[in-house]
Each structure stands twice: as C-alpha cells, then as structure tokens.
Amino acid sequence: MTTLSTKPPSGTRDFLPEDIRKRQYVTGVIREVYESYGYEPLETPAFENIETLLGKYGDEGNKLIFKILKRGEHEQTGQADLALRYDLTVPLARVVAQYQNALPKFFKRYQIQPVWRADRPARGRFREFYQCDVDAIGSTSPIVEAEQLAAMATVLERLAFTDAVIQLNHRALLTALIDVAGIPRALEGEALVALDKLDKIGRDGVVSEMSARGFPATAGPALLDLVASSDASQGGSEAAGGNDWVLERLERSVAGHETGARALQDLKDILRLVAGTAAAARVNLAPSLARGLSYYTGAIMEATVEGIGSLGGGGRYDGLIGMFLGRDVPACGFSLGLERILVVMSERDQFPPDVSSGAVDILVTLWDATTAQHALRLAADLRAGGLRVEVYPEADKLGKQFKYAAGRNVAFVAIEGDEERTGGTVAIKDLRSGEQTAVARNEAAAFVAQRLHSRPRH
Amino acid sequence: MTTLSTKPPSGTRDFLPEDIRKRQYVTGVIREVYESYGYEPLETPAFENIETLLGKYGDEGNKLIFKILKRGEHEQTGQADLALRYDLTVPLARVVAQYQNALPKFFKRYQIQPVWRADRPARGRFREFYQCDVDAIGSTSPIVEAEQLAAMATVLERLAFTDAVIQLNHRALLTALIDVAGIPRALEGEALVALDKLDKIGRDGVVSEMSARGFPATAGPALLDLVASSDASQGGSEAAGGNDWVLERLERSVAGHETGARALQDLKDILRLVAGTAAAARVNLAPSLARGLSYYTGAIMEATVEGIGSLGGGGRYDGLIGMFLGRDVPACGFSLGLERILVVMSERDQFPPDVSSGAVDILVTLWDATTAQHALRLAADLRAGGLRVEVYPEADKLGKQFKYAAGRNVAFVAIEGDEERTGGTVAIKDLRSGEQTAVARNEAAAFVAQRLHSRPRH
C-alpha cells in the first residue's frame, strides 16, 4: 500500500511505554523537588516568531534553528515566519517581558519541555530532546544560589546519584585569576573556552591552545598553575582538600584584587548558606570549572559523577533575561541533562523496581465470551481497590492468556469461573511463583496490592 | 533595545503557573484512570517526515499542516521535508507499523501531546493545542468498547462532571437506517454529515440540506423520522426513555436488515458488558449521533453535558490504523477535548481547592541577612516535613514579606527571630486568619500540614 519509512524522523525518537515510564519517573521527581523549593511550572509554545529566536544563538545557532514555512500562498516563496524553540531561556526572557506586571517580584520557574536543533544526529545527540531548566529571576541574593544548589543536590539524591558532587566556582574569580596570570582582558573569553576543555585535553592541550590563540607565553601556564594550586582534586598534596583549604589558597592567589575578593566573599556566603541544606556534603569549590557559555556573571555550578561526567549545570547570568526588556534583570539557574540522566540511570539500574514493572498489576482472564460481563465487573472491583487492571479482550485458552501476561511483565492473573463465582471467590495466580490462591472476592484487590508492595527489589 | 513583540505567536499560548497547575491536575487524573484500565503511555516526535502526513487529512488538512524548511543550502529553495504533527492518529499508525513485533498483540495506548494546525485562530480555537487520545489496537471484541466507555465515565466522574452522559450509536446501524429510509448507498457519507448537524441546525435544516444535495424527496424526512422515533431524548412521549425502549424501537426500524441486526446485537453486547462498570448509568443509546468523520466502522460514542455540548468522543475504526501496514487492523478509541474540558471546569469551578492554592505552602521570612543560614535550615526542615517552601531571598520589612506571600496566595509564613531560635520555636502566622502561633520547631511542618488539609473547600 505504501513504501514510506515508518521510522521517526532522523534525530528524533518514539517513546514506547517503558521509555515513558522511566521519563515520567525522573521528571516526576524533578517536579516534586523543584516545587518543594517554590519553583513554579511554566510552558511556552513549541514555536516562536522567527525574529524572537534569530540572532540569539550566534551564527552557528541560526543555522541549527528549524524554520517553519509561512502558510497559504506564501508557501511558494519559501519564507519562514516561525521557528521551533531552540532552548528554554529565550522563551523565558520573552515571558518575563510580556507578563512583567503579572509575575511575582521573585519569579522562580521550572520548565521541562522539548527543544529542537538541526544538529547532525549522533549517539546521544538528538534533534528533539528535553531540556529541564530551573531559574530564579529578580534577586541578586546568594540565597538564590544556595537554594538552587540544595535543590540540585536533592534531585540527585532522590534519583539515587549517591556519588554525585556539585562543583562550584565563580566567573568573577576566574576573571581575577586571568588578570593575575597576566592574560589581557580582551582574551578573557578565549581563556575561559580553553580552560573549559581542561578535563578533556589536559593541561598541555590547554597551554598549546592558548599559545595558538596568541596568549602571552607565560600567561597560560600561569593561569593553570593558579587554578591547580587551589584545586583540591588536582592538588595531589596530602593536606589538600576541603572547601576551606581551597578558599585559603584562592585568597592568596587573588590577594589585593578587588573583583577577586568580592567573588570570594560571594562564594563564602553561598557555602555558609548551603551548610544547613541537602547540598552541604556535595558542594566542592572547583577553581578550574569554567563552563563555556559567555553569559555567566557570577557563581557557576556543575553536577558531576566520577567516570560519567556532567549531569547538568548553570549559574548566575544577570545580563541575559532582560534582553526583551532592554535592561538587566538578575537571574540564576541551572539545567539538568535529562537525556543523559536517563541513559546513566538505566545503565546503572537506578530506577525503583515498580518503574520497570509491567503496565498493569493484574490481568483478568476470559475463556468464555458469554461471561464477559462478570470479567468486567471483577475488573471494576479490582480497580476500585486501587489496582491497574487489564481485561483480556477475547475468549481464549488460559495458557495463552498466562503467556500474554508474562510477556507483558504482569505479575498476577485473576481467574473467575462459574465455581468461583458461586462461591464468592476468585483465583489469583502469581505468575512469578506459579502459586494459585483462592481469595474471597472482596479481598482480592488487597491480596494483590499487599503482594505487589512486598516484591523484592531487584 | 528591541521593539519585538513579546506575545506568543498567533494562536498559541504561554501557560503560566496557575494554568499549568490546572492542566497537570486534569492530565494527571486522565493518566491515572487510563493506566488503571491498562492503557500505556506513548509519545512521538513533534514533527514527522512530511510524506507521512501529506494526503492523510484531505486537501483542507494539507493546507493546515505546518511545514518545516529543509536545513542548510536547501533553505533557499523553500523545500520542506518535515511537518508538525497534525493529530495523534497518524503517528500511532506509524508506530503500529514500525514496532509491530515489539508491541503486545493488544496494544492499548494513550497519548497526551500537542498538535499544530494552521487554522485561523478564534475564541477557543488554537494553532497549538493538546490532544488526549486513548486507543486499543488489535481486537474486535465489544469488551474494548465497554472498557473505553467505562474509562471515559470514570474520567468524567473524577473531574466532577457529574451531569455528563455518554451517547452511544453504531455506524452500521446508521447505514441500515439510511438504507431503510431509501437513501442511495452512494449518498451515505453525505447523509451522515447532514445528520451530524441535527443539534445545530435542527430537523428542517437537515432536511433542506439533504434536498440541496439531491437526496430523494422523501428520503431525508424518512431518515429523520426513523431516528426520532427511537430517540429517547427526542421522543417526547411519556413512555419514551431507557436503552431498552430505544433498542425495541430500533429493532422494529431495521427489522430484516442484516447489517442493522448485526449492529444492534453489537450495541446490546456493549450495553450488557457496561452494566457492571462505572459507565452503567451514563451510557444512552442515541440513534441521531453521527459523528462527522468518515472512518468509523462500528460503535461511536460521545460524552456530552447539557448546555455545554461535547467533551470528547470516538468509536471503532477498523480500517485506518493499518494505513502503513497495508492491511486492516482493528482499532477503537476516543479523544477527550482537553482544552474544552479545562475551560468548562474553570467556568464551573470544578477544580479541587488545592489546585488553585498558592505555589507554596509556607514562606520563610528573612529580615536580617546575617541570619540567612538559619532561614535556609528552617526551610530544609519544613521541606523534610513534606511542605513546599519558599525563602524570601532578601532581608526586608516583615510587612512587605507578608504582603508578598498574600499576593502569591501563600497561606502561611514562618518567622524565626533570635528569641524563637533560642527557645527552639518558630512563629507560624496564618495569613488568612491573621493568627500567629509559637510552635516547637520540630512540630512546625506537621502544624502547617494539618491546617492546610483542613482548609475549607471553596
């Protein structure tokens, strides 16, 4: 009838039920945690007017934006007037401008929605993927950073990333270190981009990149020395370690540098505030953390897991959110790498068992179409008892129905023949053990529920 | 800095937090109910390859599809290779073909995602809106229809549509009535389209539309008489009413008509199965229910509320889902009008009170920046007690913070001064009553939780 491909478009995915259950579990935890911190949900349209997006992501970004043809007779001209959302930050900036009088003075929002980028698809890189952003608008207080670090730590904990740490640094501190190293201010952006690659290309790689970009010969090594000397994870010294140790080193490095001193005070404030929160044991000062993007203006943070890398990050960016208002608006936020988190959680088996259990708790069997109304009544009763119930829709051999249930990872089947009906019971078979029990009908739901919840964790 | 409009694109909406809370409440109920009936979640990409969609919705539909420009050098040619999802049915058909070996024999899925149509925006008509579909693939058993009617009834009940009814009819029964009325088979489609307007344009309107389309002079009135004589809601007779009464009339109307007799048997089976379910008291046979779309092949259903109209509907369509497989695949499903349901629920105040309550349960005040770490510690403790907590991020006058909380519809504020801290207490102020209570710190979360849950329902 047709020879069309039925695959989803290149770089996109269909999410089948078991995928969605995992995704919903993760986003459910994230929502719950963010809401407990007073963040509120926001959603914006999939597409924006094209002028809203063009020019916001640089030349490279402009090319990666999916553009939508004008409708009607304009279709012929090839003119585009709309474009698919490229990130969640520009839409937030638009919302902040559009609803400035309706939004609270301190607007704390989270947004979990897909974005689209016409990148070349590759392993782990998609053209449609979810972003998961949390941002606090309207305050420069370090309480914002501290609460975000706590929220990030709580999410990681709830998702069983017991080994995750959060690296914390400050853009103004990096500015100071760059100054002290003798790198001209005009090269600051390039210094950050190079430093951002330290994990990937190592010290020598960063130094030669800096030389290639025309940095003064001693400046690159000087910056790397400054960073390394205060980096607990790179110190190698027995005495190295702990945020106080790092602070002490940094204080020496930026002594007398006004911007550096202010940044250090900021970090100290944040660390003091974090002490009573879920993030207390997870936040490590990391002077080498640069984060590539140019728009950060204050603290920067990144959640990492040894051997895995980054699970997300962010920081303060006081100059961006006001882009449509024409004035600076304080903002601090971070983004979790939802797709990455899902991959790692699957690999490391971090989902609770009920997330990967079957679609339903019990299958009501049917082997005689003339008694189907009883099967539906039984299903209704089991649902009223809180169970997720599927009714096998066609009269068939019981063995076949058991096999169907097992294939769908359903643990229990209910069998109600004439005999059971007369006696007011129902036979419940546990497909994992093979055990079959006659249970009073009005106790059947509780019987199954109790056994479901006592399932061994895998 | 810019004179760009910051409104969302024409026909689309930004969903601010209070909108999302309502939407999440409704979709949460729908998900929970569908999952209790064994339906599993599916999600597909926002765009499809353009050939997947073109030609599936008729000439009118082709024009309303948002088309995406090819990337790179192709951008100049105006060529489109992708298009935004227009409904959830064609993607389902694609998924059924693509994963035919991985999906269960009886694939029951729900899908709640936005679709995009370049319709002229109008009140209640959007270019981006959510569809909410539930479909069972792979069985022709009337158990499928009965369970879907029960699921639909359960959703309506849980969303407080206590006055909703579900109209039930059968396409093959309409075919029989059209036959009996003397309308040529070739005009069946047009007869259904005309009949579908009965509610809107009345009997005379339908009759004159049928004349205008060249129906035999007596055929239109004959069909309307057949329908009216068996329609309990239109009978006007004292004796009229009840599904048995309608069935009896219909039996007389299609006596000796084989297709009609089979359709009636189908409806009787469905009604018998529904008797033990949540839909028992809600399902009304409605011989005038036509539903405009041509693809239905069996039972059709529609949820309606007096004075409001349709909240959603669907039916059996055994010829459509196999479009990419090149063979018929049995399917039955319905779609809830999510946007309409949200409007009506807001108008009729059908949301539980906590959906429209504030974003957080309690605001922790701050009037001395030097004690901010205690505020964060208190917030952490209150969150551990299950509360949603916001910390006022800047030291400010208490009155201003109370006003901020009240403006955000937050019921409680916590005040912890030096005195409270020394005494191990915290002052909890209920902004609704003005009452302030000193509570032991470790009992503060429970104190607030208890009062939140005993809030009067509005």
Task: Say yes or no for a CB contact (<8 Å) between B143 and A375.
Answer: yes
Give the closest residue to B438 by CA, choosing from B455, B410, B454, B417: B417
Rounded Cα distance, B360 and B349, in Å: 21
Which residues of B fall within a CB distance of 8 Å from A37? 383, 388-390
Q: Tokens standing for A172?
A: 């103004």
DSSP label of B23: H
Q: How confident is the model over A85-97, as pLDDT tens digits?
A: 999 999 999 999 9
Cβ count near A42 (within 10 Å): 25
**Dihedral, CA of residue B115, residue B117, residue B122 and residue B125, to nearest 10:** -30
Interface mutation vs chain A, best among B1, B84, B383, most A CBs within 10 Å: B383
Position of tokens 């993760």? Answer: A26
DSSP label of A117: -
Position of tokens 């030389």? Answer: A211
Q: What is the pLDDT of residue A236?
A: 45
Averaged over A100-126, what is the pLDDT? 94
Instruction: Say what the pTM is.
Output: 0.93
Tell me the residues of chain B between 358 and 417 that have a Cβ less than 8 Å away from chain A: 359-360, 366, 369, 372-377, 379-380, 383, 387-394, 404, 407-408
**Dihedral, CA of residue A255, residue A259, residue A262 and residue A267, to nearest 10:** -90
A407: confidence class by pLDDT, cuts 50, 70, 90: very high
B421: confidence class by pLDDT, cuts 50, 70, 90: very high
Q: What is the pLDDT of residue A234?
A: 52
Task: Say yes or no for a CB contact (<8 Å) between A24 and B41.
Answer: yes
Which residues of A fall within a CB distance of 8 Å from B68? 66-69, 84
Averaged over B70-84, what is the pLDDT? 84
Q: What is the pLDDT of residue B457?
A: 41
Average pLDDT, chain B: 92
Which of A13, A46, A128 lies at the smallest CB-CB distance from B114? A46
Q: What is the pLDDT of residue B240?
A: 55
Q: What is the pLDDT of residue A237?
A: 46
Residue A295 to residues A174, A315, B12, B204, B305: CA-CA distances in angstroms? 14, 9, 29, 67, 53
A233: confidence class by pLDDT, cuts 50, 70, 90: low
Gap between the terminal Cα atoms of chain B: 45
Average pLDDT, chain A: 92
Q: Tokens standing for A90?
A: 């520009």
* Weakest-pLDDT range from A66-80, A233-247, A416-430, B427-441: A233-247
Nearest CA of chain B to the CA of A346: how many Å? 19
| Helices (H), ranges, B123-281 | 142-158, 171-180, 188-195, 198-212, 219-229, 232-235, 243-253, 258-274
- Taking 70 as the threshold, does the pLDDT of residue B391 lie above it? yes
- Taking 60 as the threshold, does the pLDDT of residue A161 lie above it? yes
- Taking 60 as the threshold, does the pLDDT of residue A73 lie above it? yes
Nearest CA of chain B to the CA of A384: how many Å? 9
Report the share of chain B in percent with pLDDT over 90.
80
**Dihedral, CA of residue B89, residue B93, residue B98 and residue B101, to nearest 10:** 110
Which residues of B fall within a CB distance of 8 Å from A152? none
Most confident of the following: B57-66, B74-83, B267-276: B267-276
Interface mutation vs chain A, best among B391, B400, B408, B410, most A CBs within 10 Å: B391
| Cβ-based neighbours of B361, under 8 Å, separated by 6 or more | B387, B388, B389, B410, B411, B412, B448, B449, B452
Q: What is the pLDDT of residue B238?
A: 45
Farthest CA pair distance, chain A: 93
Rounded Cα distance, B40 and A16, in Å: 9
Averaged over A254-272, what is the pLDDT? 96
> What is the DSSP secondary-structure string of B317-337?
-TTTTTTTTTS---EEEEEE-
Rounded Cα distance, B69 and B74, in Å: 8
Which of A24, A143, A372 lies at the smallest CB-CB distance from B393? A143
DSSP label of A166: E
Q: Summarize chain B as % helix, strand, coil (round to 5).
A: 45, 20, 35
Rounded Cα distance, B173 and B190, in Å: 16
A349: confidence class by pLDDT, cuts 50, 70, 90: very high
Rounded Cα distance, B241 and B230, in Å: 9
B22 touches chain A (CB under 8 A): no
- Taking 70 as the threshold, does the pLDDT of residue B239 lie above it? no
Q: What is the pLDDT of residue B236?
A: 45
- Taking 90 as the threshold, does the pLDDT of residue A1 lie above it? no
Q: What is the pLDDT of residue A238?
A: 45
Residue type, B102: A
Which of A9, A45, A383 lies at the smallest CB-CB distance from B9? A45
Rounded Cα distance, A102 and A99, in Å: 5
B74: confidence class by pLDDT, cuts 50, 70, 90: low
Residue type, A280: A
Q: Tokens standing for A191?
A: 């210094």
Search chain A and give the residue with CA nearest B95.
A6
Q: Tokens standing for B297?
A: 């092949």
The Cα angle at residue A232 between residues A350 and A160, in degrees rounded to 5? 10
Rounded Cα distance, B310 and B341, in Å: 9
HSE value, Cβ hemisphere, 13 Å, CA-based, for B56? 26
Nearest CA of chain A to the CA of B292: how many Å? 26
Rounded Cα distance, B31 and A21, in Å: 12
Q: How confident is the model over A19-44, as pLDDT tens digits?
A: 999 999 999 999 999 999 999 999 99
Residue type, B79: Q
Nearest CA of chain B to the CA of A264: how many Å? 17
Rounded Cα distance, A32 and A37, in Å: 9
| Helices (H), ranges, A14-64 | 17-36, 50-53, 58-64
| Cβ-based neighbours of B105, under 8 Å, separated by 6 or more | A404, B138
A11: confidence class by pLDDT, cuts 50, 70, 90: very high
